[in-house]
Amino acid sequence: MYDAAHMAAPFFNLKGKTLVLIDWANVFHAQRKNGWNVDTRKLFALFKEHQEIQDIVLFHGTDEHEKSRSFLKAQSAIGYRIVTKAVKKVPVTVDHEGKPLPKPILRRKCDFDVEIAKEILLNLDTYQGFILVSGDGDYAPIFDVLRDRRKQAIIVFPKGGMGREYTENEQRKRAMFLCSLERLRPFIEIKNIPAGPKSNRA
């Protein structure tokens, strides 16, 4: 399989200065269902192959676990600009089908709808293009603003994880480029490194 270093040309055909916004929790949880994981270093490298991309922002929550803080620190070292906030724990009494649970459970919640919309609105005069890596349909209305401002809009969504809000409105659908994360898989997938042979030495 290839990686970003072996791409014959930049993957996206960008029309000007571009901002990338990554809703990491949306991507991570969707990819767990799809059976492969994204290497954030390879993803960053793929985007940096495009000279038009000036900033890559990763949105992800912070909780009390050291693993969470270590992850964000590692992403910052790669080169991502980090936007984070505390993860909330919300009591839930029904399951995904609306059926009552035997007892309430606490579900982690940390949405970045407002923060991502704000980032786009504050940068409308700075960037010609916007790439959102997420399939969350809650972001769809902000793309109407991009259409009205004649901005290039690209959605990179996980397989099976694109909100219908992006396609049920024909005018909105025509104004953006929809790209499945599967198309980037050869360049950004985490590769499992096989263990070496066991030593027979005592």
- Using one digit for the tens of pLDDT, what is the confidence trace for 90-121? 776 766 667 777 877 666 666 888 999 999 99
Query: In the chain, what percentage of residues exceed pLDDT 70?
Result: 83
Asked if residue 166 lies in contact with residue 178, where contact means CB atoms within 8 angstroms, the answer is: yes
40, part of any domain: yes
Boundaries of domain holding 155: 16-60+121-187
Rounded-to-integer distance, Cα 137 and Cα 134, Å: 9
State residue 121's pLDDT score: 96
Rounded-to-integer distance, Cα 43 and Cα 49, Å: 10
Rounded-to-integer distance, Cα 48 and Cα 45, Å: 5
HSE of 72 in the Cβ direction (CA atoms, 13 Å)? 19
101, part of any domain: no
1, part of any domain: no
93, part of any domain: no
What CATH code is carried by the domain that includes residue 137?
3.40.50.1010
The CA-to-CA distance between both ends of the chain, in Å, stands at 37
Lowest-confidence pick of 57-61, 128-132, 166-170:
166-170
Q: What are the structure tokens assigned to 175, written together?
A: 């104004």
Asked if residue 176 lies in contact with residue 154, where contact means CB atoms within 8 angstroms, the answer is: yes
pLDDT in tens, 39-71: 999 999 999 999 999 999 999 988 877 888 899
92, part of any domain: no
State residue 9's pLDDT score: 59
Higher pLDDT, 2 or 17: 17
State residue 76's pLDDT score: 96
170, part of any domain: yes
195, part of any domain: no
Q: How far is CA 183 from CA 9, 12, 49, 179, in A?
A: 15, 11, 16, 7
State residue 193's pLDDT score: 47
Question: How many structural domains does the chain have?
Answer: 1
**Predicted TM-score (pTM) of this structure:** 0.82
